[in-house]
């Protein structure tokens, strides 16, 4: 993938309480470096209860997971050191 290109996936069926999920990574030139941008759009099942679950729990958990993913990616790119695998 070169700069300005994107990789996206769409989840169409799973056991999570998701009605839909689309996730996109885009490589962007930033001075002499390349920056990765990500965008995730999702909708939970269960109407108003799903919206409440999102506000109270889901959004925070996913945000923490995404930040952890990018911190690990940055560590790997800068040092070659891989993150420890979770059990």
Write down the pLDDT at residue 4: 72
Nearest to 20 by CA among 50, 53, 46, 42: 42
Determine the 3-state secondary structure of 59 from DSSP: helix
User: Are 27 and 7 spatial neighbours (Cβ–Cβ below 8 Å)?
Assistant: no
pLDDT per position in the chain (87 positions), as tens?
A: 666 788 899 998 888 899 999 999 998 988 888 888 999 999 999 999 999 999 999 999 999 999 998 899 889 989 999 877 776
pTM of the model: 0.72
- Collapsing DSSP states into helix, strand and coil, what is residue 66? helix
Give the model's pLDDT for residue 2.
Answer: 63
- Centre a 10 Å sphere on the Cβ of residue 87 and count the other Cβ atoms it contains: 3
For residues 39 and 21, give the distance between their C-alpha atoms in angstroms, rounded to a whole number: 11
CA torsion sign for 17, 25, 87, 54 is negative
Q: So what's the pLDDT on residue 29?
A: 87
CA distances from 33 to 27, 28, 29, 67 (A): 10, 9, 6, 19
């Amino acid at each position: 993938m070169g700069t300005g290109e994107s990789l996206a996936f769409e989840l169409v069926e799973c056991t999570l309480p998701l009605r839909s999920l689309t996730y996109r990574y885009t490589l962007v030139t930033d001075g002499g470096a390349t920056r990765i941008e990500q965008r995730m759009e999702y909708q939970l099942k269960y109407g108003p209860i799903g919206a409440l679950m999102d506000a109270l729990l889901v959004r925070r958990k996913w945000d923490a997971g995404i930040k952890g993913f990018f911190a690990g990616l940055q560590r790997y790119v800068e040092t070659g050191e891989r993150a420890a695998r979770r059990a």
